[in-house]
Structure 1
Amino acid sequence: MSDFEPGTGVVRPRLTVLSGPSGVGKSSVLAELRRQQPDIYFSVSVTTRKPRPGETDGVHYHFVDREKFQQMIHAGEFLEHAEFAGNCYGTPRRPVEEALAAGRPALLEIELQGARQVRVAMPRAQLVMLAPPSWEHLVDRLTGRGTEHPEVVERRLAIAREELAAEKEFDEVVVNADVQSAAADLLSLMVGPRISGV
């Protein structure tokens, strides 16, 4: 979906928000998207949780304490923010705006509630849902791991039902039947016709 500068015919870069249920393959699709188009700006979230082994500040997350996070909320520095499992997460506004101003398409990968907040904060944002080929496929992905308690899996499936039911709130849906194809479909939605020969 292209977004033209009024009166010029020039396509402006726009913010794309990718959401989808747990187990649908968002990480794999985004890794392939990075490979296909390294120039895309991928937002780095701010979080109050502690870094896990191997995580680097500014690469995986921006790690801050709760006091700093609250200051950022009050200063209007987030496009969206939420709390999960006792930790806060937020998408910083300025880097996204700077990437778009520099002509780079920008991508956020966030959950449904965050996507709704971004829709309010930046109405021009394009919301894309990454969906499984079928409900059965998603159930297989979530139960096939075999590493989680059945109650946890049931909770994830309940959340996934709620997320998939919100499909009509999204501008586009990309079905992840194949990672390379899904990444290519997402890329074409982000850059539209402007990329050929650029």
Structure 2
Amino acid sequence: MGTPDRPADTAEAERYYSSYSGFVTANGVVPVLHVLFFLFFLGALAGVLRRADGERTGLANTALAGGTVFVALTAAGFTAEVAYPATLMRFDELPFDDQIAPLLLTIAAWFYHYCQVGTAAMIFATSIVAWRTGVLPRWTAVGAVLGVVALLHTWFPLTAALSGLVWIAVIGLVLAIQGAAPTDE
């Protein structure tokens, strides 16, 4: 959810990738679970918002679209970040390339910056629906502040990424505790 360390030179980029197999596991395989669980979270959130708001404002769709942008660009960032060490693991004869590694780290960082736009849209839309309808406790609407923080990812990557993670954790916990809202059928 963050951004890769920002190597100042190619030697730092090579150290960043120093343990190829550990790096690929930590930054390539483990995030697959991150994406999987987020998709379940997003589906539950969109369903709750859609039942509460219907098609009146389109905010449920906005939250779904924002979450989709977040998860797609995050997965693209994971891919860009892990592609080079995975290539070095797969093809033993390749030497470290001090041009490709920094390029891919930079591409990954920009994917992570842009994914936070999706995070912010998801947070804002959810906060508005929660405030208007009470489908989630109204205090969760205060989480919109974390949407603003997410938009600052370019300047404060770790803080912004953690703000989105905290919001997802809190809303996920609220959804799990609250369960499915009863229907009027």
TM-score, structure 2 as length reference = 0.25
Structure with more helix by fraction? 2
Q: Higher relative contact order by CA 8 Å / sep ≥ 6: 1 or 2?
A: 1
Structure with more strand by fraction? 1
Bigger Rg over Cα: 2
